[in-house]
Amino acid sequence: MANGSAKHIITLIKKDLLLEIRQQYTFYGVLLYVASTIFVVYLSMGQPEEDVWNALFWVIQLFVCVNAVAKSFLQDSKGRMLYYYSVAGARDFILSKLAFNAMLMMLMSLLSLFVFTVLLGNPLIHVLDFIGISFLGGIGLSLIFTFLAAIAAKAQQQAALMAIMGFPIIIPQLLLLGRIAKASFSPVLQAGLWQMVLLLVGLDLLIILLAVILFPFLWKD
């Protein structure tokens, strides 16, 4: 049973990857959004201080995630969803979506960080640590918005519903990410850093658990 589920998840991830490769305008559209936004920031304020740099990075990551992940369920028609229903279970389907969007956001986080350091300078002292934090943050944002997109896809006003549900959930995570990321700008280890990292990981695991439990009810609709 476990092997069958793993095969279903891998097959569905490959399907999403092939769709992303065929629809390259989506990827390049998000990449253009990142580059243009950061370039406008550069023209407006040059190379900002590290606190502003950190805040801008996570705000832009938020909008990148909305643009990259929100389409997860909107591009699947009812006929295609019925086909998925016949070949895979609800748990395998939602886990494949969560995994694919997490990998997509890790790539977007790396590209965003590269453009940031080129245009806005590199105030980071611990670059590798910040890369790890950006991966962890990208995964967390993708999990939340994938779960919200699954719920909103069943409603008529998808964008409005995602904004309403996402705001109270995403703000605490952004604040937590900002505090964790500050450790990469300081030569001194921040007190309580690992507790905050574990809290963030716990929130991510909670989102995965909620998605696995609640998505089958939407799946049957």
| End-to-end CA gap in the chain | 25
Query: What per-residue confidence (pLDDT) applies to 160?
Result: 66
pLDDT of residue 4: 67
Under-50 pLDDT residues of the chain: 1
Tokens of 36: 């243009």
pLDDT at position 158: 60
User: Residue type for 153, please?
Assistant: A
Closest C-alpha among 152, 8, 201 to residue 91: 8
CA dist 121 and 106 (Å) reads: 21
Closest to 99 measured CA to CA, from 131, 62, 142: 142
Return the residue matching tokens 């995964």.
Answer: 139
Residue-level pLDDT at 1? 45
Rounded Cα gap, residues 148 and 164, in angstroms: 10
Q: Give me the torsion for CA of 207, 213, 215, 220, rounded to 10°.
A: 180
Measured distance CA(35)–CA(24) in Å, rounded: 16
Question: How many angstroms separate the CA atoms of 51 and 147, rounded?
Answer: 30
